[in-house]
Amino acid sequence: DAGVTQSPTHLIKTRGQQVTLRCSPKSGHDTVSWYQQALGQGPQFIFQYYEEEERQRGNFPDRFSGHQFPNYSSELNVNALLLGDSALYLCASSLGWTSYEQYFGPGTRLTVT
């Protein structure tokens, strides 16, 4: 049973560039949430997708956007990258957007120089 997978593992970008991160949920899960974990901090909720719609959003600027595909996989896009966007980006999946069981992927480490 495949768990949550994320790609790429690591990424280095320059300020002002755009980046796309990808997530495939655990088999059978239909909901994907994205979190940002800055160094030394706990994960911060970015947004959640269910039925290809953004259902909840955290306190992140519009530079952060996402998408969910019919196969439930998801993308996180960040435009006009800032140095402060450097972080570990975690994807979590669940069956339904109110489920208590969320499974996390290994994350994508984004470094902005």
Partner 1 sequence: AQSVAQPEDQVNVAEGNPLTVKCTYSVSGNPYLFWYVQYPNRGLQFLLKYITGDNLVKGSYGFEAEFNKSQTSFHLKKPSALVSDSALYFCAVSGLTGGGNKLTFGTGTQLKVEL
User: Interface residues for partner 1 in 32-51 (CB under 8 A)?
Assistant: 33, 35, 40-45, 48, 50
Contact flag: residue 17 with partner 1 (CB under 8 A): no
CA distance 74 to 80: 20
Q: Which of 4, 32, 76, 112 binds partner 1 (CB under 8 A)?
A: 4
The residues, ordered by sequence, that sit 6+ positions from 17 with a Cβ below 8 Å of its Cβ are: 81
Contact flag: residue 100 with partner 1 (CB under 8 A): yes
Full DSSP string of 47-75: EEEETTEEEEE-S--TTEEEEE-TTS-EE
Pick 80 or 104: Cβ nearer partner 1 = 104
Contact flag: residue 74 with partner 1 (CB under 8 A): no
Residue 95 carries which side chain, given as an amino acid letter? L
Supply the minimum distance, in Å, between the C-beta of residue 32 and partner 1.
12
The number of beta carbons lying within 10 Å of the beta carbon of residue 32 is 30
Two tokens at 111? Answer: 């470094």
Footprint on this chain of partner 1 (rule: CB under 8 A): 4, 31, 33, 35, 40-45, 48, 50, 55-56, 58, 90, 92, 94, 97-107, 109
